[in-house]
Structure 1
Amino acid sequence: MEIAYVLVKSEMAHEMDVMSELLKIDQIKEAKGTFGMYDIFVKIEANSSLEIAEIITKQIRKINHVLSTITLSVIPEQNKK
């Protein structure tokens, strides 16, 4: 299982619309509003890094009112309990 965190910047006053659409994606396990440069903090769990890349490029970035994303990949060796 691969995990990545994505910081999402949305158009002003559309944060809740974007968050609602994000939470419709099965691999998105959490989406939380944040203060600062980015508006939403997203946790993705997928089978591979390729699947994560496709979710970001083909789904998240195509949501209306999403302006930009930054992806934070988890170091696999540190992803153990």
Structure 2
Amino acid sequence: MVILDLGDGLEEVVVNDRKKVVIQRSRFHGLDTLDIRTWVETPNYKGFTRKGINIPVEKGEELAQKILKVVKEL
């Protein structure tokens, strides 16, 4: 996996040559959120999938800590 810094509150984790996870800051119903989505590029479709989550920005650090905890337990 490759992590790319795209600036402006946008990050990518490249999973393979057709799929990546995009993490971006956004606004949803007036709230600052983190939107974490799967992006695919196939011959038939290029764009975001329905797979993903949208959480309040203030929960981002807690989510990151939980992910690191799970990764370290592997």
For Structure 1 versus Structure 2, the TM-score category normalised by the shorter chain is: 0.3 to 0.5
* Structure number having the greater strand percentage: 2
Larger Rg: 2
Q: TM-score, normalised by structure 2?
A: 0.34
Q: TM-score, normalised by structure 1?
A: 0.32
* Structure number having the greater helix percentage: 1
